[in-house]
Amino acid sequence: MKHFYSVPAATLAANPPQQAIYHATACPGLPTFCIVLVELWDTHAAQDAWEAIPGIQEHHIETMGLPAPAGVVTAFAPWGATLGMTLRQVFGVIRSQWPVWRH
């Protein structure tokens, strides 16, 4: 199962996911943040340790119907995100520019 995260760029640089297959890219409208897609964690312990690092936020499927926060819209406005979108719609915007970001 894929896992979707947003992470401060400095945190990601200092603490990349260990024991994982992952992809990361800077947010186009907020380059101090990155989005990270983990395709596979080798162990639950590695996943738990990385997710416990302050500033790392996992995006769960059950929240996709919620309105996208203003910071998320800002982060992806250059790719087409606009106020009033849900998180699911923003995920679609991200996928259109960064196809690895798929469920």
Note the pTM of the prediction, 2 decimals. Answer: 0.93
24 versus 103: the higher-pLDDT residue is 24
Instruction: Supply angle C-alpha 78, 35, 44, rounded to 5.
Output: 165
Q: Which of 28, 2, 10 is nearest to 90 (CA)?
A: 28
Q: φ, ψ for residue 54 (rounded to 5)?
A: -55, 135
Radius of gyration, CA atoms only, the chain: 13
* Residues 6+ positions from 50 with CB-CB distance below 8 Å: 15, 17, 18, 20, 56
Q: What is the pLDDT of residues 29-57, one digit of tens each?
A: 999 999 999 999 999 999 999 999 999 99
Name the residue with tokens 């996911």.
17
